[in-house]
Structure 1
Amino acid sequence: KGGPAYAEREKMTPVEVVELILRAGGLPVLVHPLTVGSVEMMVIELKAAGLVGIEAYYNGYTVDKVNTLVSLANKHSLIASGGSDYHGLDANTETMIGGVYVPLESAERLVALAQQRGLRLVSS
């Protein structure tokens, strides 16, 4: 900050991010939901904006936390999704891609929703 190449980041609200993801043809999922103050209030607000899922499966979560988030997703008719949160090749701190259990049903529901909405799916 204050340097010659510094550029202020554009700040967006969570609702604005959900709306942007939808406009870009994506399916918005709330990641790291346990880092927000009132998860349920956030879920209610974001679902009204178009949220489709909650990251419930994550390597840093206990079984109890996973179960709580899956229940929250079910309560609000959202998809319980998950991921490794992989950011790079540091084996000491990163969970490798595929290193977190996410039920196949989660992926199938996301794919079905994408197809229902006419979104373009990219395969590897």
Structure 2
Amino acid sequence: MPRSPRSPLLLAGLMAAAGVTHFVTPRPYDMIVPKSLPGTPRTWTYASGAVELALAAGLLAPRTRRTAALATAALFVGVFPANVKMAVDWRHRPAPLKAAAIGRLPLQVPLVLWARSVAKNAEGQS
């Protein structure tokens, strides 16, 4: 990702938007929570939405940006199993939905790299 001063703000916006959708429309997220996780899918949906909102706030503040960006990269890695589950579950859906589910998998790589870039560029800030 380019070293734009807006990059942390854009990443924060992405995280905030994703976090809000976990509360506004939780059902699609419930459906991709791996069954191996304890508790109810809705609990995981709400918890991950809250984490995304907290990370968005952390990305906005220069003092917490580096830590929040690294945690965001870790979150992108951590949700990968849910994206795999979605791709497997949607393999028999219509082509556009199947393509969207499969397309999410490689998208995680640039998201992780973007968050790491924000973290690296935040090192000199305080």
Q: Which has the higher helix share?
A: 2
Structure possessing the higher relative contact order (Cα contacts under 8 Å, 6 or more residues apart): 2
TM-score between the two structures when normalised by the length of structure 1: 0.28
TM-score (norm 2): 0.28
